Structure 1
Amino acid sequence: MTEVSKKDLRREILAARESMSPFLLAQTNAELAEWMYRLPVELTADDVVAAYVATGSEPGGTAMLDALADQGLTVLVPIVPEGGPARLQWGEYRGEAALTRRRWGLLEPIGRRLDPDTVHRARLVLVPALAADRRGARLGRGAGYYDRTLAVTDVPVAAVVGDAELLDGPIPQGPDDVPVDWVLTPGGGFVPTR
């Protein structure tokens, strides 16, 4: 798959997501939230999970974050730093009401910004993806924020995608792309990779 076809794949997936009905998106997010009670790593209350705040038709929604917090877990969500692509900063998720729109219209937590190295405290990282394959290759939006962040940590990572976005065929990876350990889909749960 060439870089042009990766761009085409991104465009195709984004178009499919945008055409998804609000009902189907809500159902997808509810199913993903249920999987938060069956995580692929053993956690106890007060453990840390790094996740993300879904935007638009991206799978996940705040229901997924609320399900994690419901278990007594500390949930970190990203804050995009100023300037060009760099490692993500973090903030603690304290409910949907404690989020505000910031750079690029993304919802980010109100309160203290935590250093990029805060992700090392996590026992699991849930990352957004446009697609992922069964080898652990993840197709993001192309800016590399997550790859820069994950390259310096050995925390287990799960990419969250829709059912049709888990691909059998390989997604090519460059030298800076960080593979994931699981792919989470609403219908299939956590699928191990590699």
Structure 2
Amino acid sequence: MERMGHGKAQWRERLTTRRIARTGDEQASAAVRLTALIGEIESGPLGRPLRTATIAAYLPQPPEPGDTGMLDALVATGATVIVPKVAPGPPAPLDWARYEDAGQLVVARFGLREPAGAAVGIDAVGGADVVLVPALGVDRRGVRLGRGAGYYDRTLGAAADAALVAVVYDDELFDELPEDPLDVRVGWVLRPGTGFTPLT
């Protein structure tokens, strides 16, 4: 696994550049694989049938791995799926809304997509069984590198009972990433080539 002795800014720059360079075919292939693998959440981090679960997910934006197919596959099992709504103002804990299908989505703050319906509140993530978390990279200790605004680190503390899963490409699992005291570690990683892997 790759390891570099740089700070977070250097890691973010390198990993963002590498993602942007990924071809459309590579991104599409990863999305298909992730959709096919998403059901394995039952035997991995969830450990019980999806139809009884609440999954907090996110809406991938190219070049992030995955697409709405992952969320549609979860909804098809009967799971309750919630996704973020970013409130105005400085970075704060994320609000959430129920995801039904891609047809309900609108473009919102930062160009992100979110459901057009009403939010269900920032506390909704506390009822999630699994949280799928976006990341530029993750290491084997569960240290996750996000984009730097801190929305998820402000949010995940409320999901103390949930399994936290970072979703990355196959080459974005590292031996060690830089970590700050307020960073929230994840317990799992989901990659297109290997599925769900527990982290230590």
TM-score, normalized by length of structure 1? Answer: 0.94
**Counterpart residue number, 2:173:** 166
* Equivalent residues of 2:7, 2:178 under 8 A apart: no
Name the SS for the 1:45 alignment partner: helix
- Cα shift at 1:43: 3.0
How far is 1:5 from its partner? Answer: 3.0
Residues of 2 paired with 1:137 and 1:83: CA distance? 27
Shift of 1:160: 0.2
When normalised by structure 2's length, the TM-score is 0.92
**Partners in 1 of 2:10 and 2:197 — Cα distance?**
25
Higher helix share: 2
- In structure 2, how many angstroms separate the alpha carbons of the residues matched to 1:27 and 1:70? 21
Uncovered stretches (5+) of structure 2, i.e. residues with no partner: none
Contact 1:43 1:123 in 2 (8 A): no
CA contact (8 A) 1:158 1:184 kept: yes
Q: Say whether the 8 Å CA contact 1:101–1:107 is kept in structure 2.
A: yes
The offset of 1:46, in angstroms, is 4.2
Greater RCO, CA 8 A, separation 6+: 2
- Per-residue deviation, residues 75-114 of structure 1 (Å, max 9, x unmatched): 1000111100000000111111111101010001110111
Summarize the alignment of residues 38-187 of structure 1 with structure 2, pairs less than 5 Å apart. Answer: 38-39=40-41, 40=44, 41=46, 42-154=48-160, 155-168=162-175, 170-187=176-193
What do residues 4-55 of structure 1 show as CA deviations (whole Å, max 9, x unaligned)?
6321211111111111111111110111111211012123414210000011
Q: Measure the CA separation in 1 of the matches of 2:157 and 2:173.
A: 22
Report how many residues are paired. Answer: 192
Q: Distance in 2 between matches of 1:14 and 1:70?
A: 32
Q: Residue 36 of structure 1 aligns with which residue?
A: 38
Distance verdict in 2 for CA 1:62–1:77, change over 3 Å: same
Q: CA deviation at 1:121?
A: 1.4
CA shift digits 1:105-131 (9 cap, x unpaired)? 000111011111001111100000000
Runs of 4+ in 1 over 2 A off after TM superposition: none
